[in-house]
Amino acid sequence: EPEVTQTPSHQVTQMGQEVILRCVPISNHLYFYWYRQILGQKVEFLVSFYNNEISEKSEIFDDQFSVERPDGSNFTLKIRSTKLEDSAMYFCASERRGSWGTEAFFGQGTRLTVV
């Protein structure tokens, strides 16, 4: 069964460093998302991406964050200058749509630890 793949599974970085989180969505999906989950808190929407541009972003997704789909398969989330509070699980999701509705599939997540 097709799945969303995220790498790395765990990333440790020093405060102020740039990190890039990578995702390979399901191949025939067209809508892509990043979510995060701080330990013990709920899963929160960050950004949605369609047709090579951001379609919606939350207030969390400030100028330190960016997304791109550089080669038509990978979907990346970049955090330019990490802060301690960026430590969280980051989930990528891709979505398929049909006459029956819509369904988002999540990757296994990247655990980001900022020290």
Partner 1 sequence: QKEVEQDPGPLSVPEGAIVSLNCTYSNSAFQYFMWYRQYSRKGPELLMYTYSSGNKEDGRFTAQVDKSSKYISLFIRDSQPSDSATYLCAMSARSGGYQKVTFGIGTKLQVIP
Letters for 76-95 (x = contact with partner 1 by CB under 8 A, - = none) are: -------------x-x---x
Supply angle C-alpha 23, 104, 36, rounded to 5.
55
Residue placing its CB nearer to partner 1 in the complex, 79 or 107: 107
Query: According to the 3-state scheme, what is the secondary structure of 20-68?
Result: EEEEECCCCCCEEEEEEECCCCCEEEEEEEECCEEEEECCCCCCCEEEE
Applying CB under 8 A, the site for partner 1 has a residue count of: 27
Q: Which residues bind partner 1 (CB under 8 A)?
A: 4, 6, 31, 33, 35, 41-45, 48, 50, 55-56, 89, 91, 95, 101-109, 111
